[in-house]
Amino acid sequence: MIENRPVLTLLAHLVLILGVAIVAMPLWVAFVASTHTATDFMSGRVPMWPGPHFVENYAHMFGQGVSTSGTPPIGPMMLNSLIMALAIALGKIAISITSAFAIVYFRFPFRRLAFWAIFVTLMLPVEVRIVPTFKVVADLGMLNSYAGLSIPLIASATATFLFRQVFLTIPDELTEAARIDGAGPLRFFRDILLPLSRTNMAALFVILFIYGWNQYLWPLLITTDPKYYTIVAGIKRMADAVDGLPQWHLVMATAVLAMLPPVLVVVGMQRLFVKGLVETEK
Amino acid sequence: MAAITLDNLGKVYAQGSRAVGDVNLDIADGEFIVLVGPSGCGKSTLLRMIAGLESITDGQVRIGGRVVNDVEPADRDIAMVFQNYALYPHMSVRQNLAYGLKNRRTPRAEIDRRVAEAAEILQIGPFLDRKPRALSGGQRQRVAMGRAIVREPAAFLFDEPLSNLDAKLRGTMRLEIKALQTRLGTTSVYVTHDQLEAMTLADRLVVLNGGRVEQIGTPLDVYRRPASTFVAGFIGSPAMNLVPAAALPFADAPAGAVVGIRPEDLRLDARGPVAMTLRAVEELGATRLVHGHTGGQPITAVLPVDAPLGDRLQLAVAEGAVHLFDATSGKRIN
C-alpha cells in the first residue's frame, strides 16, 4: 500500500517517538545519575544532563566497588555473570537439542511419557520450585559455586520444543537419504541436524544468554561468598546499604554496565537471530 | 551390479491394512524395471522395501543372492534418488556427492576421482562448489543422480525422480536417465505414475494395482496384450476404449465380456461396423482426438487431421486389434 498523507506520517512518527521515549527515559536517567556525585542526585532536583563525574564514578566501580555493602569491584562480578549466562545458554541448548533429537527420531518405551514430563516442567519455573531446588543444591554442596549458579537453570522445556519443531520441518527424505548414505544416528545428528539448526541455535542463544544474565533471585539465594556474586544480584546488594544512604550514583553506574553485555550480544547476533526466528525453508 | 529377487513380498501395516501383497519378481543384472501404477497402488512402498526404508512383513528381498530383509539400507549396496532430491541443503554439491563415500571411509583420492567422474558424466562440474539452493530443479536432479552414481552401487532405486520437473525438462532428463543406465549397466528399479515414462524407460514394466501385480512384461507386450482391463486402461494414451460387448455386437465376443479397442486402432470407413455419434474433437496438431458415443457408451478415436467429420461417423477396427476381457474379473480372455 502506497499512501502519501503527511498528517498520518507525522502522527505515526509521534507515536513511535513517544514509545521510544517511554522506554529510553529510565535508561537515560540511569546514565545521567551515574555521572553525578551522590549528593547531586539526592538534592531534590534530579539532573537531566550528564554531570562531570563519569570517569571518576566508573573508575571507582572498576577499582574498589562499594565496600560498605560488601560487593567486590565490578569486573569479577561481570565475569561471574558472563560465566553463568554462558553456562546456562550453552547448557540449555546442548541438553534441549539432544532431548529433542531423542523425542523426534527415536522410538523408545515411554516416549510419550517423556514428552509430557518435559511439557509439565513448563509449569514449574525456578520460583515455584525454589525451596526444594535450594535444598538439593545445598545437599550436593554446590552453594557458592558456578555449578550451583547454572546447573539448576539448565533444563529447558521451551528450547526442547523449539528444536522439536525445527526437526519436524526437516523432510523425511533427507533423513532417509542420510540413512542410505550410511550415516548412523550420531553422524546424522552431527552432520545434518546440527548444521541445519544453526540459526535456531543462534536465536535461542541470544534469548537464553539474556535470561541467564538477568537471573536475580537464584544467585541472590545461593551465593554468600562475594567471589561468586553476579552483577544483577550485586546491584541489589549495593542498593541495600545497611548503614548510610545507598550510593545511587554508583548503583546506576553498575546498572548501566550490567546492561551492556546483553546489548552487545543482541546487536552482534541480530542477523542470525532474526534469520533463526523467521526462516522456514529447509 | 547384481540381480534382485522379490519372493512373495508383502507388507501389512501395524494397524492391519495391506499395502503390498504377494509380489514375485526376478530382476536380472543390469535390467531397468519400472514399477508403474496410480497413486496408492503400493509402488513406492515396494521400492522402499527394497531400499530397506520400510520393514518387510512377508516374503524376502534378495540382492545379489543375499537375503537383505534385516539389513540396514546403507549395507544393502543400493543408492536411491528421491522425488524431492533430498540434497543436504547446507553442503556444497561436492560435499553432497562425497558424503556417502566419506561415511564408508573411502580414501580421499578415490572420492575425488569418483566425484570428478560423476560430475563429468552429468555435466555438473561448474556447480560443484555451489549450494543446492543455487541450482535449478534439473541441476538438483542431476546432483541427486550423481550422489547415486559415485557410490557405484549394485542397484539404483528411483522414486518418481522427474515428477517435480516441468514437462520439457522431464523429457530430456528421461532420455538422459535411460542413456546413463545403458552406459553404466546398473540394475535399476524406477517408480512412476506416468505411463509415458514407464513405456520409454523400462526393459520390463511391472503394473501394480491395489498392492498387487497386474502384469509384468516388456512395454510393447504390455501395450499389445494387456492382461486386464486395469492395465488396458492405464497403459497407452489416450486410454483404451473399454465397452460392454452389447454395445459392439460385431466383435464376436461372449455375452457379458468387455471389448477393448485402442483409439489409434480405429479408422474412418463408411462400411465400418462401429457407428459413432460425435461429441467433441481435440486437435493435437499431428492427429486429432475424436470423442463420441456408440450404443450409449463413450468411445474415442485417433483420426488423421484431414479426415472428414460429421455428426455421425462409421469406424472400422484394425485387424486383430480387439481385446476381450471378462466383465467380472477384468482378466483378458482372448
Edge-first strand listing for the sheet containing B58-63: B18-27, B4-12, B58-63, B66-67
Instruction: Check CB contact of A191 with chain B, cutoff 8 Å.
Output: yes
Q: What is the pLDDT of residues A158-198, one digit of tens each?
A: 888 889 988 998 999 999 999 999 888 999 999 999 998 88
DSSP track, B33-68: EEEE-STTSSHHHHHHHHHTSS---EEEEEETTEE-
* pLDDT (0 to 100) of residue A65: 67
A281 vs B contacts (CB less than 8 Å):
133
Q: Which one, of A141, A129, A155, lies nearest residue A222 by Cα?
A: A141
Instruction: Check CB contact of B84 with chain A, cutoff 8 Å.
Output: yes
Confidence of residue A143 (pLDDT cuts 50, 70, 90): confident
SS3 A82: helix
3-state secondary structure B81-122: ECCCCCCCCCCCHHHHHHHHHHHCCCCHHHHHHHHHHHHHHH
Instruction: Check CB contact of A194 with chain B, cutoff 8 Å.
Output: no
Sign of CA dihedral B175, B177, B182, B183: positive
CB pairs under 8 A between A and B: 58
- Nearest Cα of chain B lies from the Cα of A116 at a distance, in angstroms, of 24
Confidence of residue B91 (pLDDT cuts 50, 70, 90): very high
Q: What is the pLDDT of residues A36-61, one digit of tens each?
A: 777 776 676 777 787 777 777 777 77
Q: What is the pLDDT of residues B49-64, one digit of tens each?
A: 999 999 999 999 999 8
Nearest residue on chain B to A188, alpha-carbon basis: B103
DSSP track, B130-143: S-GGGS-HHHHHHH
H-assigned helices in chain A:
6-33, 38-42, 54-63, 74-105, 111-121, 130-139, 146-150, 157-169, 172-180, 185-188, 194-196, 198-213, 217-222, 231-239, 248-268, 270-278
User: Is the domain A34-278 a CATH 3.30.300.30 member?
Assistant: no
Q: Is the pLDDT of residue B180 over 50?
A: yes
CB contact under 8 A, A179 and B104: no
Nearest residue on chain A to B76, alpha-carbon basis: A180
Average pLDDT, chain A: 83
Instruction: Check CB contact of A132 with chain B, cutoff 8 Å.
Output: no
Phi-psi region of A210 (alpha: psi -120 to 50; beta: other; left: phi over 0): alpha
SS3 B123: coil
A282 vs B contacts (CB less than 8 Å):
89
Average pLDDT, chain B: 90
CB contact under 8 A, B103 and A176: no
Q: What is the pLDDT of residues A205-216, one digit of tens each?
A: 888 999 888 888
Domains of chain B: 4-229 (3.40.50.300), 240-247+258-326 (2.40.50.140)
Q: Write the CB contacts of A139 (distance below 8 Å, at least 6 apart in sequence).
A: none
Write down the pTM of the prediction.
0.81
* pLDDT (0 to 100) of residue B188: 94
- In sequence order, the β-bridge partners of residue B260 are B242, B323
What does the domain layout of chain A look like in residue ranges?
A: 34-278
Mean predicted confidence (pLDDT) in B88-113 = 92
Q: Is the pLDDT of residue A131 over 60?
A: yes
CB contact under 8 A, A195 and B90: yes
* pLDDT (0 to 100) of residue A282: 45
